Amino acid sequence: MQTNESPATSRPAVAGAASTPRLTRADLMSLETYARERDAFRARVLAHKRLRNLAVGPHTTWCFEDRLTVQYQVQEMLRAERIFEADAIQEELDSYNPLIPDGTNFKATLLIEYSNAEERRVALAELKGIERRCWVAIGGERVFAIADEDLERENEEKTSAVHFLRFELPAGARAAANAGAPIELGIDHPAYRHSATLSAESARSLAGDLA
């Protein structure tokens, strides 16, 4: 398990029906308040992320998003870019809100991580299509990811090191997760086949995303 933070500079727009409350400007702290509260808020978010940032094999981390992680990303973006105008704040909310799960799915940022630049270049060429071979299995049902609905992050030569994934779960899988069934993550790609079973605590955290 890793604690990598999702890239705050990526602005995804992922499809999905809205059933989980979206963030509004009223949910956000002002820049002044956030400066004062940031350390405590960040500590809370990072503790939460430790349950939701999950390694699958040696070179990928799946960062499962929810309302709290998205609020953190928005607050950090507003802080970094000194955004305080109402219209600009709303633009950030419109960009990030689609990452919040809708009650029928998990949403995750996939990070492909290699510390050596040349190794990373070679791997990203070999791993084309990996984002579509990520799966979640619950109660005997395996669901593959719907990837990068906002824009194409793969070209003819290589895939990207960052992808946005949505796992649309059937009713049976959602019921199994809410009943405490194990949750398994995996990648079934010719160049990268790995899987991992979540801890009970992490599984409970992800089950909280489901209606």
Residue 60, pLDDT score: 98
Residue 187 near residue 194, CB atoms below 8 Å: yes
Task: Give the phi and the psi of residue 74 in degrees, each rounded to 5.
Answer: -65, -45
How many Å apart are CA 206 and CA 48, to the nearest integer?
11
How many Å apart are CA 203 and CA 28, to the nearest integer?
28
Assess whether pLDDT exceeds 60 at residue 17. no
Residue 20, pLDDT score: 63
Residue 199, pLDDT score: 97
For the segment 105-129, the average pLDDT, to the nearest whole number, is 97
For the segment 81-87, the average pLDDT, to the nearest whole number, is 96
How many Å apart are CA 64 and CA 80, to the nearest integer?
23
Residue 154, pLDDT score: 79
Assess whether pLDDT exceeds 80 at residue 8. no
Q: Where are the alpha helices (DSSP H) in 140-209?
A: 171-178, 200-207
Encoded amino acid at 15, one letter: A
Average of per-residue pLDDT values in the chain: 91
> Chain centroid to CA 83: how far?
24
Residue 63 near residue 112, CB atoms below 8 Å: no
pLDDT grade, residue 19 (50/70/90)? low
Q: What is the value of pTM for the model shown?
A: 0.85
How many Å apart are CA 63 and CA 67, to the nearest integer?
13
